[in-house]
Amino acid sequence: MKVIKAKDMGFCSGVRNAIRLAEKVASEKHSGTMYVYGNLAHNKIVMDHIESLGMKTIFDPEIPCAEDVVLIRAHGISDKDRAEFERKGVHIVDATCPLVLRNQRNMRESALDVILIGIKGHSETIAVEGVAKRPYHLVENPFDLEGLDNSKVYTLIVQTTFETEKLEAILSKMDELGIRFIQGNSVCRASELRRDSIRHLSSLVDFIIVVGDKMSANSNALVAEARRFGKKAILVENPSDLDENMLKGYETVGLSAGSSTPDNVIEEVERRLLQL
C-alpha cells in the first residue's frame, strides 16, 4: 500500500498564532488566573495542550476578574462579551484569526442588510453575528433564502471554513431567486488550498483519510470535498481510529488534515498507516 500526502494540510497560520500566543501567556507571570474564552481551536488535542499549560477554558464572560488574563479564541467573540471584559479591566490577549476579524469588520460596518452564510451555532458564526449593527439573515442551506426581499442589495459574508459544495448551492439559489449582493469576503485561502489539495489527491488515490477533530468544520469539509469527487473518505482523530479492515483492497491511500490538526498527530497517523 502506498500513502500519498496532500500538499497543503494541517495547522493554518491563524491556529498556529493562537497556540503561540497561548504558550507565551502561559510562560509569563500573572497575578490572576489565565483563561481561554471558548475553544481556542476545534481540536481536543490542542485544547488538552492549552489546559496543560495552566490555562482554563471558559464560556461565561462573567467568570474573569480584573487581575485575570483572557485569551480570545481563534474564532473570535461578540462585541458584547469583549465589552464585558473591558469593563472589568480584564487583560485581553486577542488570538482571533485575522480573516474572522475581517468578517466581523464587514458585518459591523455594513451599510446594507447582511446575508451571513455559515453553520448555525458554530463559534465563528456566533462571533460574527455578535457584532451586527444592521439586520442580517443567517443562511446555512438554500432553503434559508426563501422569503428574502430580492428588491434589496445585501452584503454577503461567508464563514471562513464553509463547505464549497454547500456554498455553491446557496449562491446558485441566490441567482435563481434574483437576490443581489456585494461580496464582503470569500472563504479563507488556507481552506481553499487544503480543498484544492484534496481535489488533486482524489485523482491519485483510491481512499482518503482526513485527520481532524469531529468538531472541526474545516476537517469535515475536507471529507465532504473528497466524497464530492467520488472517493471514499473518512475522518480520524488519532491513530487508534485506524484498523486493517478499513484499508483492505486499497493500493493507494491519501492523507490530509484539517487546519486545527497538530503536526505530531498527522505524523502519528501516517506512521500507523505505514505499519498497517
**Mind listing the pLDDT tens digit for each residue in 40-71?**
888 999 999 999 999 999 999 999 999 899 99
The dihedrals phi and psi of 190, each to the nearest 5 degrees, come to -60, -40
- The pLDDT of residue 185: 66
> Phi and psi for 269 in degrees, rounded to 5?
-65, -40
Distance CA 77, CA 94 (A): 10
**Per-residue pLDDT for 95 more than 80?**
yes
- 115 vs 101, 121, 140, 145, 164, CA distance in Å? 17, 16, 10, 9, 17
pLDDT in tens, 185-220: 667 888 889 989 999 999 999 999 999 999 888 899
CA–CA distance, 9 with 266 (Å, rounded to integer) = 9
The Cα–Cα gap between 115 and 75 comes to 19
Which residues have a Cβ under 8 Å from the Cβ of 264 and sit 6 or more positions away? none
Count the neighbouring beta carbons within 10 Å of the beta carbon of residue 24. Answer: 11
Quickly list DSSP for 54-103. Answer: TPEEE--TTS--TT-EEEEPTT---HHHHHHHHHHT-EEEE---HHHHHH
Reply yes or no on whether the pLDDT at 27 is more than 70.
Answer: yes
Each residue's pLDDT tens digit, 131-172: 999 999 999 999 999 999 999 999 999 998 888 888 999 999
Q: What is the pTM of this model?
A: 0.84
35 beta partners: 56, 70
130 φ/ψ angles, rounded to the nearest 5 degrees:
-75, 5
Q: Name, in order, each residue with C-beta under 8 angstroms of 219's C-beta and a sequence gap of 6 or more.
A: 42, 210, 211, 212, 213, 235, 257, 258, 259, 260, 261
Which residue has cell 448551492?
A: 169
Helix, strand or coil for residue 105?
Answer: helix
pLDDT score, position 186: 66
